[in-house]
Structure 1
Amino acid sequence: MDYLSEFITIALVHLVAVASPGPDFAIVVRNSISYGRRIAMYTSVGVGLGILLHVAYSLIGLSVVIKTTPWLYSAISYLSAAYLLYLAWGALRAGPSDSAATVSATGQTAAISPKKALLSGFLTNGLNPKATLFFLSLFTAIINIETPFAVKAIYGVYLAFATGVWFCFLSYLLSTSRVAKLIGDKGYWLDRLMGVVLVALAIRLVTL
């Protein structure tokens, strides 16, 4: 019962965190609008796999090292910001000619491969230092130090799975025919908006 209570607390905290707009949200929305449901799903799975990276280093205590070593944390922050700016550059350059690939129902081939989409999701989440702080607090402040390693690992698998499911649901929602019709030929404006969001997130990473 102690573990159940702990798990429920973790699940609720994670639900709030994953639903909050951030780099993961921006890249999934961007890929959903630009390349359609299939690519967005691969991106979502990549985001979920990125969670496993944070879980792995949290379980072995590296998250504390990262947080308590300013230069290492700064290096990760700048690397993450650079990657977000790279993604933003592609989004900001979107134009009417790209909108043909907006909806998967068009039957056209996506402009990026599933492998690249998976990698983009993984890197966006895996390089996010804010996620480092989240998992540091999760595994030190919420999860009891006496909780067995195996139970902590189960928590981690759940967090990765739940994250992937959430963003897959978001991908599905954004690519439904009704939403696609609403977006129509102006989908590239939403793509550009996500580019602006990514730039803002990159700036925030290196200034806070």
Structure 2
Amino acid sequence: MNEFHILLTLAGIHWIALMSPGPDFALVVQNATRYGRTTGIYIAFGLSFGILTHSILSLTGISLIVHTHPVWFALIQIAGGSYLAYLGFSTIKSLYQRWKNRHQPQKPQSVSLWLENRKQAFSKGFLTNILNPKALVFFISLMSSLIPAGFSASGKLMALVILWSLSFLWFAILAWLLSSQRLQNRLQSAAVYIDGLCGGIFTLLGLMIGYHALIRIFLSTI
């Protein structure tokens, strides 16, 4: 198989994986629905840079080193699980605060707060992806099975470009569609339920990942 066909296969597998529901998908749905298009795009930007980082670490072999050390990988799992649980708990807490203050008038956001939200959106997207242990394993498997040792430097660079651009394209399209005016009008009444569902998903995934990490550490010590 020549480099062109390898890159084509890489793009196809990655595109299918991107469309699979997971923390990244839920994060875009929640934020684009609640905060609008710009926030959704910045979330997409952060997620795509997380994927780019995973791709670079996998190509250089760093991710494989981490994965083959049970304690190191368990620590990544704990960090990722804790962050997802934090996102879930924060969402549920925010829902409770909104319900508690539902009869009070809402204050308009200032420009400085809006700019801060953009930075937070990028950071949230990046951290959600980079701390996802399943993403680490996926890219190790993808790179090790498709990219041979003799792959050219230009081919590896093109692989990184493909993985990043497809990631940003998919999540940006998702954010764009979810934040269209017509869909926003329909989703506005369901926003609280979307937040609750995403908050529950993040919390559950975080706790499950943390539990498996603790089991891994326990088994490695006996």
TM over 0.5: same fold?
yes
The corresponding residue for 2:142 is 138
Question: Which residue of 2 is the match for residue 123 of structure 1?
Answer: 127
* Counterpart for residue 104 of structure 1: none
Instruction: Indicate the larger mover: 84-93 or 9-18.
Output: 84-93
Q: Which runs of 5+ in 2 are unaligned?
A: 100-107, 213-222
The Cα shift of 1:187 comes to 0.8
Report what 1:5 is aligned to.
5
Matches within 5 A, 1:44-193: 44-95=44-95, 109=109, 113-193=117-197
Distance 2:19 2:36 in 1: 21
State the secondary structure of the residue aligned to 1:146: coil
**How many Å apart are 1:4 and its aligned residue?**
1.3
Asked if 2 retains the 8 angstrom alpha-carbon contact of 1:34 and 1:98, the reply is: no
Higher CA-based Rg: 2
Specify the code of the residue in structure 2 equivalent to 1:186: A
Report how many aligned residue pairs link the two structures.
Answer: 200
Cα shift at 1:186: 3.1
| Alignment RMSD (CA, Å) | 2.0
Paired AA for residue 52 in structure 2: L
What is the deviation of 1:97? 7.8
How much has 1:98 moved relative to structure 2? 5.4
197-206 or 2-11: bigger deviation: 197-206
The residue identity in structure 2 corresponding to 1:113 is: N
Which has the higher mean CA deviation after the structures are superposed, 61-70 or 173-182? 173-182
Residue 93 of structure 1, CA deviation: 2.8
Deviations 1:47-105 (A, max 9, x none): 00111211221122111101100001000001001111111112223449859xxxxxx
Equivalence for 1:15:
15
Q: Measure how far apart 1:196 and its partner are.
A: 0.9
The residue that corresponds to 1:202 in the other structure is 206
The alignment's TM-score, normalised by the length of structure 2, stands at 0.83
Is there any run of 5+ residues in structure 1 with no aligned partner, and where? 100-107
CA contact (8 A) 2:82 2:207 kept: no
Deviation at 1:179, TM superposition (A): 1.5
Determine the C-alpha separation between the residues in 2 that align with 1:183 and 1:26: 15
Aligned partners of 1:153, 1:60: CA distance in 2, in Å? 12
The alignment's TM-score, normalised by the length of structure 1, stands at 0.88
